[in-house]
Chains A and B, each alone.
Chain A
């Protein structure tokens, strides 16, 4: 990277092309280049932003949260660096606010459409039979459950939004894919079927969901791929780990699952590719366990004031265990036009469901 930047731009294209040819002809050679993801965010800086957000949120009755969230993401994303190039968060508070207004309008509309007939029925029959009004009350409790799959649509929408606002070397990420497909898959398979089979199918279902996301993920115009052809033996060992840790769940108070989770995450990263670049994570169950335990005690002993510490620890932990294998200079990226609004973003955030991806 260093060397190539000193070469005039006009020559660089040719040079990188040459390198590309070399790495194509001998894969082993290219694999030797390993870039680590770096994170240099400071807990103190995160605290500064966090405290500012806290007071401005109070002053503005919570409206500042959209701008506050954005400035926090700006800092966290901007603290990641890969191959001497920083990541950049390109979202704005206005976008989030607009998304919030839109979502509120939809929610209001839906509640009016469903609520008014229900309310009218209630008003009409409330005085006649108490059983009927009980029935109406019951329906109004059950109705939200029917909206459960939509939560996953909101999560996917929020992934789409966030990914489209993260740029590296000036090129934005992009997540395609259908909200309906993803939410049905997440609701019926990843959660429903998983529950029905008592977690036995967890590796297969999780891999399916991850695969769906990765196969719809782009950096500019370049698509990520999911290649699990070589790692079949690894996957068998994950299925085995899943069984063992499930059996040990109760005696170990659930801690055994960290072993499975670390193994699965490492496996899934191994299968991820973009062109001839591949990825590697080195999560260890003990580290994962230590991190989670530390976070747990920080939350308990700081009465929630330790949020910034946890945020920073998680980001650093992720970076310390994330590697990119292959020559990133070979990766020629081109911007693609996309436009994803922030609707749904708020909803998913409200439910604290968007932490999975690590930002």
Chain B
């Protein structure tokens, strides 16, 4: 079989006759001198023969710069037959399925970053993120929420400031919004949202203090920031479905408002709440009463009003929490009767069904 051979060392081309014998391919020039002897295993088909292009074959063991060019299609066909349709020899990597698998693995590794690496090391990542960034994240989560609801009161107001002061959480921004659901949220950047629904549902200022203490517990443990970071992959996927950044931000907020913390995180916040309340001399009985009342109401109209009591549905089993907060005796209210009345009045304008 005839072919053109380049030894890769000089530019002279050799017309060779090659034969396949005993698992190797041997090329000889006219006078019988052997110019190459390559094992079939080391062969690589660099270019498939086509109408106007020669097949190019090299070997991967030695003289890797050397090339066999096969122009004649008959020679190519018979070589192809001899080598079992080139099945036994390496084809160019460009067409290889191995390359595709390799790329798949690389893609997976990239996907692992938001879905596994970031959530796993969320605590460590949080340590290096400066507070003004988490503050910005919180602001961006809150903004779409504020397009739907209005702030009726904040830490600037005397009454709320008083509660925050008593609970040693003056550094936290507490907002009361005209949201009629019975709910409260802790957001990144030390923000708490209290819905008017919750305030109307409460019977005493100590109940509100308990809820705030619980949310402060989440904030002190950086649960909102951690949740944001560990859900980053999912949030990005949600964001990817929206074309505008507004939609993305809204869906992030939605995800934040709808999803719940883990049992462990809730427990941490509860324990923080009991400790804080004890420290400032408030018995947790009020909170136990609050949950008992909620449980009753929740049972009664769980089907029709589940949205109204979302705070309880997104938190651990109420009976367990009642056990935790059950305590003998009464304590003085955190707010005076007039202050409590003033607090409640803030939400009076909102009609609750």
Binding site for B on A (CB under 8 A): 5, 8-10, 12-13, 40, 56, 60-61, 63-64, 67, 70-71, 74, 78-79, 85-86, 88, 92-94, 123, 126-127, 167-172, 220, 331-335
Contacts and interface: CB of A to CB of B under 8 A. Distances in A.
Contacts of A5: 13, 15
A78 B47 contact: yes
Interface in B62-118: 65-67, 69, 93-94, 99-100, 103-104, 106-107, 110
Given A67-B93, A127-B132, A170 B14 contact: no
B10 A335 contact: yes
A332 B10 contact: yes
B107 A60 contact: yes
B41 interface: no
B9 interface: yes
A40 B13 contact: no
Contact of A335 (B8, B54, B93, B99): B8
25 contacts: A5-B13, A5-B15, A8-B31, A9-B14, A10-B31, A60-B103, A61-B107, A67-B94, A70-B94, A85-B13, A86-B69, A88-B46, A93-B93, A93-B94, A127-B132, A167-B65, A169-B6, A170-B7, A170-B10, A170-B66, A171-B8, A331-B11, A332-B10, A334-B9, A335-B9
A191 to B, nearest CB: 36
Give the dominant DSSP class at A's interface: mixed
Given A40-B52, A93-B94, A335-B65, A171 B11 contact: yes
Contacts of A169: 6, 11-13
Nearest to B131: A123
A257 to B, nearest CB: 37
> Interface centre among A92, A171, A331, by most B CB within 10 Å?
A171
Given A60-B100, A74-B94, A335-B65, A9 B107 contact: no
Contacts of A94: 93
Nearest to A123: B130
A9 B29 contact: yes
A198 B111 CA distance: 50
B53 interface: yes
B351 interface: no
B322 interface: no
Nearest to A16: B12
Nearest to B105: A63
Contacts, number: 87
Nearest to B56: A88
Interface in B132-170: 132
Contact of A220 (B11, B29, B69, B99): B11
B30 interface: yes
B110 A61 contact: yes
B29 A86 contact: no
B67 A88 contact: yes
Interface residues of B, number: 34
B250 to A, nearest CB: 27
Interface of B: 6-15, 29-31, 46-47, 52-54, 56, 65-67, 69, 93-94, 99-100, 103-104, 106-107, 110, 130, 132
Q: Which 6 A-B residue pairings sit nearest by Cβ, starting from the closest?
A: A170-B6, A333-B11, A169-B11, A60-B103, A71-B94, A63-B103
B63 to A, nearest CB: 10
Contacts of B29: 8-9
A71 B103 CA distance: 16
Nearest to B50: A45
B292 to A, nearest CB: 46
Contacts of B10: 170-171, 332-335
A8 B54 CA distance: 22
Given A5-B13, A170-B11, A63 B107 contact: yes
Contacts of B69: 86
A213 B47 CA distance: 31
B67 A12 contact: no
Nearest to B106: A63
Contacts of B7: 170
Given A60-B104, A63-B103, A126 B11 contact: no
Contact of B12 (A63, A78, A123, A332): A332
Contacts of A167: 65
Contacts of A93: 93-94, 99
B180 to A, nearest CB: 36
Contacts of A334: 9-11
A79 B56 CA distance: 13
B133 to A, nearest CB: 9
A8 B30 contact: yes
> Interface centre among A40, A88, A94, by most B CB within 10 Å?
A88
B118 to A, nearest CB: 17
A355 to B, nearest CB: 22
Given A64-B103, A67-B99, A169-B13, 6 more contacts: A60-B103, A61-B107, A71-B94, A79-B53, A85-B13, A170-B11
Contact of A9 (B12, B103, B104, B110): B12
Contacts of B46: 88
A126 B103 CA distance: 42
A79 to B, nearest CB: 8
Contacts of B107: 60-61, 63
A12 B15 CA distance: 12
Contacts of B66: 170
A333 B13 CA distance: 11
A73 to B, nearest CB: 10
A158 to B, nearest CB: 20
A100 B33 CA distance: 45
Contacts of A61: 107, 110
> Interface centre among B12, B52, B106, by most A CB within 10 Å?
B12
Contact of B30 (A9, A56, A67): A9
A169 B99 CA distance: 29
B55 to A, nearest CB: 11
A227 to B, nearest CB: 22
